[in-house]
């Protein structure tokens, strides 16, 4: 019997593998941070068991949906916008959204062995950013119609999350601004003005006022949410129809990511029972946790902690047009703050679920202890059996460190109305410089994306 229990423990340890998604994603997270997107791409392809980025995995749901988001972001940074768009759209169809308002600690804690064994469900900011980043792909490719379709998808998610979380507003502002740009350059001024109104209502982005004023001057349209911005009208030049639009997007840094962390049981219970949204530790589970802690069976819990990237705070982005003066713009989206806000909301529920799993292990260990002691007539054998069962379950426990780790920390935007013709854009950040060239037709547009400043 003892030999069988030892083998069971060994098997559980072997099955537990390494460190979950944090370990899997480390390769492409670190290579992106180091400015080696080609190596990051190879690492994520390996994780999906495909030989090249043109290939989709056999299964596009589950963790592969998250890995497709990672690959789409890497491909976008490499300028491979067609494949990036395909991966974003494939992942979008297979990603589930977590509802923090209805899940309970018992529901989350039903995975006795491993917190990352369930289907990955994305938080609101990740779901909204799928459509936002894919809008950039279509705009860079000059596909205004594809951008409009993606804008409609964004609008559907926008309406859903407005009812769920007020903290999603900042994400909605930038996405709405891009959607407004897509409809404006495609000639639909009314829809463009409405999206610009959405952007203003969500907090606005740099360059929104100038864009809305020029659109109002050309179309005569307005929006009640833009009254303050439109209070100062502009006069368009007589040759305005011969000009076009240049939009520049700069993605910098790396968003926070999850790592496995141990927390003493006393501190864990305090956090898991504090008031807050979603799952919290029930009074009964709190009593059990305290009882097992007094017996010495619960000392700590294993949970996913959020960690800031070393390059999360890059700032002072300067975008210069035709080697003259900086373009009007600035920081449009702080993804890092949104990630931190979301995690602060759900941290208590995550720890509550971890405690529920630890209680389950402790109960299993005590039950095995009693059965083995009765069968063998030996207290030490029963104690060893209980420790082996609890130890096996603990060894196999991997906290859920899944998250979209290749997201940028911040997104900057700049926009200018330019004469038709060839234009050069130079982006400066610290000691780094990037240059892009665009050709703008009369009444046309060009969009440049720089997302390798990681």
Residue 254 pLDDT class (50, 70, 90 cuts): very high
For residues 46-54, give the mean pLDDT.
97
Give yes or no for residue 440 having a pLDDT over 60.
Answer: yes
Kindly report, residue by residue over 229-243, the tens digit of the pLDDT.
Answer: 999 989 999 999 999
**Is the confidence at residue 377, as pLDDT, over 90?**
no
What count of other Cβ atoms lies within 10 Å of the Cβ of residue 169? Answer: 15
Q: What is the pLDDT of residues 362-373, one digit of tens each?
A: 776 555 545 545
For residue 72, CA distances in Å to 129, 185, 454 come to: 12, 25, 15
Measured distance CA(450)–CA(35) in Å, rounded: 13
CATH of the domain at 293: 1.25.40.10
Percent of residues, the chain, with pLDDT higher than 90: 51
Q: What is the pLDDT of residues 301-322, one digit of tens each?
A: 888 889 988 755 566 899 999 9
Total residue count of the chain as it appears in this document: 454
Q: Which residue has the higher pLDDT, 14 or 411?
A: 411
282 vs 6, more confident: 282
216-225 pLDDT per residue, tens? 999 999 999 9
Q: In which band, very low, low, confident or very high, does the pLDDT at 214 lie, cut at 50, 70 and 90?
A: very high
Q: According to the model, what pLDDT value does residue 150 have?
A: 94
How many structural domains is the chain composed of?
Answer: 1
- Count CA atoms closer than 13 A to 215's CA, side-chain side: 32
- State the pTM of this model: 0.85
Tokens for 374, please give them: 């009765």
pLDDT of 56 over the 80 cut:
yes
- Judging by beta carbons within 10 Å of its beta carbon (0-12, 13-18, 19+), is residue 433 exposed, middle or buried? exposed
Lowest mean pLDDT among 227-231, 357-361, 409-413: 357-361
pLDDT tens-digit profile of 59-94?
Answer: 998 899 999 999 999 999 999 999 999 999 999 999
CA distance 108 to 114: 11
The half-sphere exposure of 127 on its side-chain side, counting CA atoms within 13 A, is 26
Cβ neighbours of residue 230 closer than 8 Å, sequence gap 6 or more = 212, 213, 216, 222
Is residue 453 within a helix (H) or strand (E), and if so which, with residue range? strand 445-453
Per-residue pLDDT tens over the stretch 155-180:
887 666 665 555 556 678 999 999 99
| Mean per-residue pLDDT over the chain, rounded | 83
Q: Report the run of H or E that residue 406 belongs to, with start and end.
A: none
Q: How far is CA 390 from CA 2, 252, 302, 303, 365, in A?
A: 15, 44, 14, 17, 5
Which residue has 């936002």 as its token pair? 132
Residue 62: exposure state from Cβ atoms within 10 A (0-12, 13-18, ≥19): middle
Average pLDDT of the segment spanning 367-386:
49
**What's the confidence (pLDDT) of residue 358?**
78
Going 131 to 137 to 139 to 142, the CA torsion angle's sign is negative
- Which residues are CB-neighbours of 350 under 8 A, at least 6 positions away? 108, 303, 304, 400
Domain that holds residue 299: 2-453
Strands 121-122, 96-97: parallel, antiparallel or unpaired by DSSP? parallel
């Amino acid at each position: 019997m003892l030999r069988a229990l030892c083998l069971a423990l060994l098997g559980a340890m072997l099955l537990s593998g390494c460190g979950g998604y944090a370990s899997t994603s480390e390769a492409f997270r670190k290579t992106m941070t180091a400015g080696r997107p080609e190596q990051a791409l190879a690492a994520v392809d390996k994780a999906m068991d495909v030989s090249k980025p043109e290939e989709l995995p056999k299964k596009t749901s589950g963790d592969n949906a998250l890995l497709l988001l990672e690959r789409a972001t890497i491909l976008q940074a490499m300028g491979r916008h067609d494949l990036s768009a395909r991966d974003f759209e494939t992942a979008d169809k297979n990603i589930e959204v977590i509802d923090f308002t209805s899940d309970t600690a018992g529901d989350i804690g039903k995975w006795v062995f491993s917190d990352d064994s369930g289907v990955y469900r994305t938080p609101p900011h990740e779901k909204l950013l799928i459509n936002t980043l894919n809008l950039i792909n279509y705009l860079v490719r000059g596909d205004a119609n594809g951008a409009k379709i993606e804008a409609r998808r964004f609008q559907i998610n926008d309406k859903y999350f407005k009812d769920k979380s007020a903290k999603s507003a900042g994400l909605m502002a930038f996405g709405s601004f891009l959607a407004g740009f897509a409809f404006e350059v495609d000639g639909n001024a009314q829809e463009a003005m409405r999206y610009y109104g959405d952007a203003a209502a969500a907090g606005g982005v740099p360059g929104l006022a100038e864009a809305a004023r020029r659109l109002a001057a050309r179309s005569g349209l307005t929006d009640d949410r833009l009254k303050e911005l439109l209070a100062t009208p502009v006069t368009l030049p007589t040759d305005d129809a011969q000009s076009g639009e240049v939009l520049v997007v700069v993605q910098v840094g790396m968003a926070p990511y999850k790592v496995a962390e141990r927390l003493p049981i006393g501190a864990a219970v305090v956090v898991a029972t504090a008031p807050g949204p979603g799952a919290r530790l029930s009074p009964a589970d709190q009593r059990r946790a305290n009882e097992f802690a007094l017996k010495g069976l619960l000392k700590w819990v294993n949970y996913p902690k959020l960690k800031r990237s070393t390059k999360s705070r890059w700032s002072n982005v300067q975008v210069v047009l035709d080697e003259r003066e900086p373009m009007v713009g600035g920081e449009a989206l702080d993804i890092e703050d949104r990630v931190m806000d979301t995690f602060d909301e759900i941290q208590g529920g995550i720890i509550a679920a971890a405690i529920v799993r630890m209680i389950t292990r402790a109960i299993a260990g005590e039950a095995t202890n009693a059965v083995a002691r009765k069968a063998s007539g030996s207290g030490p054998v029963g104690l060893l059996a209980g420790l082996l069962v609890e130890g096996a379950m603990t060894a196999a426990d991997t906290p859920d460190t899944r998250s979209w780790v290749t997201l940028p920390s911040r997104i900057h935007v700049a926009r200018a109305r330019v004469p038709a013709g060839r234009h050069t854009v130079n982006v400066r950040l610290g000691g780094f410089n990037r240059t892009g060239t665009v050709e703008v037709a009369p009444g046309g547009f060009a969009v440049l994306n720089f997302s390798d400043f990681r």
